[in-house]
Amino acid sequence: MKRAVFEELSGLSRLIHDPSRLAILTALSACRGADFLFLQSLTGLTKGNLSGHLAKLERGGLVAIVKSFKGKVPHTAVALTPEGRDAIRRHWKQLAQLRRAAGKWSAPQLKPA
């Protein structure tokens, strides 16, 4: 049982499970979309780090990015794709199942030397 849980842990999607990308995806799962500056404020990431993580998520098909201008100011809007919404939902469900399984473990009894 323990071995299967550890094998499942190692099988978590690295694209999603990275802490910064997990934060981005979780934030986006709570809304229809967000702009770059809001995500930056929410996650505390630098512009470069956020941009890099969003590019990876876009390449993975999990987010859609639309760049435009509001007047003369650039604006970047980000939203989950349907695949991204399903993926983050599955990821959190898998984590909850793993947490429940881990809660059933009992510590081995150590024998005195």
**Domain range annotation of the chain:** 2-103
Instruction: Give pLDDT, residue 28.
Output: 97
Encode pLDDT of 28-85 as tens digits. 999 999 999 999 999 999 999 999 999 999 999 999 999 999 999 999 999 999 999 9
Statement: the pTM of the whole predicted model exceeds 0.85: no
Residue 108: DSSP 8-state? P
> What does CATH list as the number for 2-103?
1.10.10.10
Average pLDDT over residues 16-31: 95
The answer, yes or no, to whether residue 90 has pLDDT greater than 60, is yes
Is pLDDT at 100 greater than 60 in this prediction? yes
SS3 21: helix
Kindly report the backbone phi and psi dihedral angles of residue 65, in degrees, each rounded to the nearest multiple of 5, phi listed first: -120, 130
Q: What is the DSSP string of 1-20?
A: -HHHHHHHHHTS-HHHHSHH
